[in-house]
Structure formats: C-alpha cells, structure tokens
C-alpha cells in the first residue's frame, strides 16, 4: 500500500505525530508499505481564492503556483491518506484547512445527493481511497471537544473515515509521563497492525485509544500548576 501522511502540526515535536508514528510502526509490521510524510507547515499553501478556475479547466490542478498541486498529486497517487494534527479551536489548524479547502480541483461543480449529504461529483476516482484522522488535544477528556471535527471529517471524507481523537496529548512530550504514555503508544502500534489487516479499526480499539491517561480533575490540576511557568 502507498500511504500519505499529512502532518498538520506546526511544531517539530508534535504530540499527535508521536501517536501517528506508533500507528505507522504497527502498519509496517504487517508488510512492506511505501510511506511518505508531508509536514504541511513547511509548505507554501495559499488560501483558496474561490475563483473556480479549477472547475472551468477541469485538469485537477489549482491555478495558484504553490505547493498544493504537488499535494493533490500525492493524494491521487496514494491508497491511504492519514491526516495527523492537533485540535485547534475544535477543528484543524488553519494551514491544514487550507490544504482541505484547495482539494476542490479534484471535484466538479456538478452535485449529487448521497445518503442525505450533497456532494460534488469527483473529477478523479477517489472511491477506493481510505482516510484516517488522528487528532490530539491539550484538553482533558471533555464531552464536545471533538464533536465539530468529527462531523466535519465525516462530511469531507465519508462515513467510513477512521477517526481517533485523543485527549491530554501534551503528556506525550513530557518524559516523566512515560509510565502513562508508553502503554498508549503500544496501543497505537497494535492499532496500526489491526488497520493494516482490515483497513479499519474496531469500535473497541478506538475507545481504547481515546481513553484518557489521567482523570479530568487531576489533569487540569497539573496543567494549571504549570501554567505560570
């Protein structure tokens, strides 16, 4: 399989990429795969201008001369697209959202209804693509943190998208938290193996990956204690 990882973290030491790398390690245990990681923050991706030139030309490219067309080519060429990013304001970081906005050259202006959702017809066949979303946040496990993102991703990538949303991920860059983060990373390795075999994760596996490492009140206490440092 050919796997493209779009890393949407702006940081070199990404909390979420710790999880994604463990997931990739698990996938690698189940065969030889071609894996490419694109650090989106390093790319020149301008906002969509809403000019719809791509829909007029229908050549699968944007008229803006930046790095987006290369990313579009990679999306077309790969079997699995993994979107890895931290939660920003209950959604994805703006530089990664710009990538999503500018995937419209892969679509047509014409529309169709699918299962109660109106979508644009596709210019290229994306029906066999598999999408994985791995997102971490600095909040504790609080109801509603990821609700908006989950709805957005299901609408963008389809109901079969695999989503794993993990709270308390700043602990992954804290060496003293290794007794808690180590077992979580091991779970992500096992999840990668499961995904390589089935191209999906069971609900039980996702629930296990999303389980908080610390109770909400203790995590908040620790964060507030470090807030002034």
Q: What is the pLDDT of residues 69-83, one digit of tens each?
A: 999 999 999 999 999
Residue 229 pLDDT greater than 70, yes or no: no
pTM recorded for the entire structure: 0.95
- Strand, helix or coil at 153? helix
Number of domains in the chain: 1
Q: CATH no. for residue 186?
A: 3.40.50.360
- Local confidence band at 228 (pLDDT 50, 70, 90 cut-offs): low
Average pLDDT over residues 183-207: 98
Which contiguous run of DSSP H or E holds residue 197? helix 178-198
- Strand, helix or coil at 5? strand
Boundaries of domain holding 127: 2-226
Residue-level pLDDT at 227: 74
What pLDDT digit, counting tens, does each position of 47-104 carry?
A: 999 999 999 999 999 999 999 999 999 999 999 999 999 999 999 999 999 999 999 9
- Local confidence band at 40 (pLDDT 50, 70, 90 cut-offs): very high
Sign of the torsion formed by the C-alpha atoms of 50, 56, 60 and 66: negative
Closest CA to 108 of 55, 51, 56: 55
Residue 142 pLDDT greater than 90, yes or no: no
Cα–Cα separations (whole angstroms), residue 131 to 3, 11, 81, 83, 163: 10, 23, 5, 8, 9
Residue-level pLDDT at 225: 85
Pairwise CA distance, residues 45 & 25, whole Å: 29
């Amino acid at each position: 399989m050919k796997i493209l990882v779009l890393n949407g973290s702006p940081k070199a030491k990404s909390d979420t990429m710790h999880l994604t790398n463990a997931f990739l390690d698990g996938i690698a245990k189940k065969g030889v795969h071609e894996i490419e990681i694109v650090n989106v923050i390093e790319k020149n991706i301008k906002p969509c201008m809403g000019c719809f030139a791509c829909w007029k030309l229908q050549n699968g490219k944007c008229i803006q001369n930046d790095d987006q067309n290369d990313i579009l080519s990679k999306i077309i060429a790969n079997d699995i697209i993994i979107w890895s990013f931290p939660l920003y304001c209950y959604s994805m970081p703006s530089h990664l959202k710009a990538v999503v906005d500018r995937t419209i050259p892969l679509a047509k202006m014409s529309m169709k209804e699918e299962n109660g959702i109106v979508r644009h017809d596709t210019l290229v066949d994306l029906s066999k693509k598999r999408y994985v979303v791995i997102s971490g946040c600095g909040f504790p496990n609080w109801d509603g943190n990821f609700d908006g993102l989950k709805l957005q991703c299901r609408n963008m990538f389809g109901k079969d998208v695999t989503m794993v949303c993990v709270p308390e991920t700043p602990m992954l860059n804290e060496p003293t938290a290794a007794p808690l983060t180590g077992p979580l990373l091991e779970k992500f390795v096992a999840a990668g193996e499961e995904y390589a075999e089935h191209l999906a994760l069971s609900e039980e596996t996702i629930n296990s990956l999303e389980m908080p490492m610390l109770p909400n009140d203790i995590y908040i206490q620790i964060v507030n204690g470090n807030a002034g440092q």
